[in-house]
C-alpha cells in the first residue's frame, strides 16, 4: 500500500513539474487540485524548525526523516524532476519553431488563471482594489525595469532560482513565468536538455532554489494564515501586470526567424486553448 501511495505521489509531482515548465500554470495550483498542498507546505516548513536539524545532528535519522515527511518529498521530487527533464526539450522546440502559437497559449493560460483567482473574492472593498492595483504596479515595474538582456552569471541564476521556487508553491503564480520575467526562461530550458546539461546554470539555480524554499516556506505558511485574501489579490495584480512579458509578438526577431508570419488566427485559437486548459484544471479542483 505504501508503494502505491508513493507512486501516486510521484505522479502528482509529475503534474507539478509539467506545470512549472509552462509559464502560466502554477505547480501550487496542481498541488491544490491533487490534495497535497498543505502537506507540501508543512513538510518544507519543517526544514526551518531548529529541533528538526537537532534530531539530524544527534544521529536520530529516522525522527528527522519522519519530521520532514521524507518519503513523501522524495517521491514528489522524483516525479517533478522526471517531468521537467522530459518536457523541457519539447517546450524549447515549440518556442523556437512556433513562438507565436506557444506564447499565445501561455498568454491564455495566464489570463484565465488570473480570472479564476478573482472569482472566489466576494464583497469587494476599496482596500481590495488597492491590493490589485499594487500588484499590477509591481508587475508592470518588473516588465518595464527588467532589462531585455539580464546578466548571465551565477549570482543572477541564484537569485532567479530563489525567487522562482517561492512562486512555484504559490497557487496561481508560475515559477517558469518568473524566469521569463527575469529573462532566463530560454536559458534554463536549454540547460535542462539531458543531452547537454549546463551545470554552470543549473548548480547556482538549484542552490538558489534550496535557499529560497527554506527561507520562504515558513513565511508563506504564516502569511496565508493571516492575510490570504490580500496576498492573493496582490498576486492577481502582479500576474496581470506582467502579461507584457508573454505577449505573443513581443519578440519579433524570434517570430521572423520561425518564418510562419504573424499567425493571428492561430494565436487566437492557441490562446483560447490555454484558457480552456485552466478551466479544465479548475473544474477538477472544484470536483476534488
Contact at 8 Å (CB) between 270 and 24?
Answer: no
In the predicted structure, residue 279 carries a pLDDT above the cut 60: yes
The model's confidence at residue 67, banded by pLDDT at 50, 70 and 90, is very high
| Mean predicted confidence (pLDDT) in 176-190 | 82
Contact assessment for residue 29 and residue 171, using Cβ atoms and an 8 Å cutoff: yes
pLDDT tier for residue 75 given thresholds of 50, 70 and 90:
very high
* Polymer length of the chain: 288
Looking at residue 250, its pLDDT comes to: 84
* Position 283 pLDDT exceeds 90: no
Give the pLDDT mean for 33-56.
Answer: 83
Distance of CA 139 to the CA centre of its chain: 16
Average pLDDT, the chain: 83
What is the structure's pLDDT at 147? 59
Q: Report how far residue 74's alpha carbon sits from residue 86's, in angstroms, rounded to the nearest whole number.
A: 18
Q: Check residue 272 and give its pLDDT.
A: 95
Give the residue among 73, 93, 87, 72 at the shortest CA–CA distance from 18. Answer: 87
| Separation between Cα atoms, residue 140 and residue 146, nearest integer Å | 10
Contact 101, 270 (CB under 8 A): yes
How far CA 77 is from CA of 6, 11, 29, 61, 257, in Å, comes to 11, 10, 17, 20, 37
Query: What is the domain count for the chain?
Result: 1
> Using CA atoms, how far apart are residues 75 and 72, in angstroms rounded to an integer?
5
Q: Which residue has the cell 502528482?
A: 12
Work out the average pLDDT over 26-46: 78
Q: What is the pLDDT of residue 183?
A: 81
Lookup result for grid cell 490555454: 274
pLDDT at 1 > cutoff 60: no
Section 113-127 average pLDDT: 83
pLDDT in the model for residue 264: 93
Residue 170 has pLDDT above 90, yes or no: no
Give a three-class secondary structure readout of the chain.
Answer: CHHHHHHHHHHHHHHHHHHHHCCCCCHHHHHHHCCCHHHHHHHHHHHHCHHHHHHHHCCCHHHHHHHCCHHHHHHHHHHHHHHHHHHHHHHHHHHHHCHHHHHHHHHHHHHHHHHHHHCCCCCCCHHHHHHHHHHHHHHHHHHHHCCCCCCCCHHHHHHHHHHHHHHHCCCCCCHHHHHHHCCCHHHHHHHCCCCCCCHHHHHHHHHHHHHHHHHHHHHHHHHHHHHHHHHHHHHHHHHHHHHHHHCCCCCHHHHHHHCCCCCHHHHHHHHHHHHHHHHHHHHHHHHC
Q: How far apart are CA 271 and CA 24, in angstroms?
A: 12
Q: Is pLDDT at 28 greater than 80 in this prediction?
A: no
Task: Considering only residues 194 and 249, tell me which one the structure prediction assigns the higher pLDDT.
Answer: 249
Mean pLDDT within 101-119: 84
Instruction: Say what the pLDDT of residue 249 is.
Output: 93
Q: Find the domain containing 272 and state its range.
A: 2-287
pLDDT digits (tens, 9 = 90+) for 198-215: 899 999 999 998 888 877
Confidence check: pLDDT of 288 > 60: no
Specify the pTM: 0.70
Amino acid at each position: 500500500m505504501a508503494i502505491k501511495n508513493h507512486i501516486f505521489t510521484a505522479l502528482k509531482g509529475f503534474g507539478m513539474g509539467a506545470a512549472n515548465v509552462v509559464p502560466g500554470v502554477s505547480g501550487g495550483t496542481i498541488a491544490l487540485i491533487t490534495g497535497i498542498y498543505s502537506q507540501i507546505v508543512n513538510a518544507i516548513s519543517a526544514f526551518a524548525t531548529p529541533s528538526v536539524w537537532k534530531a539530524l545532528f544527534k544521529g536520530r535519522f529516522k525522527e528527522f526523516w519522519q519530521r520532514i515527511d521524507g518519503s513523501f518529498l522524495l517521491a514528489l521530487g522524483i516525479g517533478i524532476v522526471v517531468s521537467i527533464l522530459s518536457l523541457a526539450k519539447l517546450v524549447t522546440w515549440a518556442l523556437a519553431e512556433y513562438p507565436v502559437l506557444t506564447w499565445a497559449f501561455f498568454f491564455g493560460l495566464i489570463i484565465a488563471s488570473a480570472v479564476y483567482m478573482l472569482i472566489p473574492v466576494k464583497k469587494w472593498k476599496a482596500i481590495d482594489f488597492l491590493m490589485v492595483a499594487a500588484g499590477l504596479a509591481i508587475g508592470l515595474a518588473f516588465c518595464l525595469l527588467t532589462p531585455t538582456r539580464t546578466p548571465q552569471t551565477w549570482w543572477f541564476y541564484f537569485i532567479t532560482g530563489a525567487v522562482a521556487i517561492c512562486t512555484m508553491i504559490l497557487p496561481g503564480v508560475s515559477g517558469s513565468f518568473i524566469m521569463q520575467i527575469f529573462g532566463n526562461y530560454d536559458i534554463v530550458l536549454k540547460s535542462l536538455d539531458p543531452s547537454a546539461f549546463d551545470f554552470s546554470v543549473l548548480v547556482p539555480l538549484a542552490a538558489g532554489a534550496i535557499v529560497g524554499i527554506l527561507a520562504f516556506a515558513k513565511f508563506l505558511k504564516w502569511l496565508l494564515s493571516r492575510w490570504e485574501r490580500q496576498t492573493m489579490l496582490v498576486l492577481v495584480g502582479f500576474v496581470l501586470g506582467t502579461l507584457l512579458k508573454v505577449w505573443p509578438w513581443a519578440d519579433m526577431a524570434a517570430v521572423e526567424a520561425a518564418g510562419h508570419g504573424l499567425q493571428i488566427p492561430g494565436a487566437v485559437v492557441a490562446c483560447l486553448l490555454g484558457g480552456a486548459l485552466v478551466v479544465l484544471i479548475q473544474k477538477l479542483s472544484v470536483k476534488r
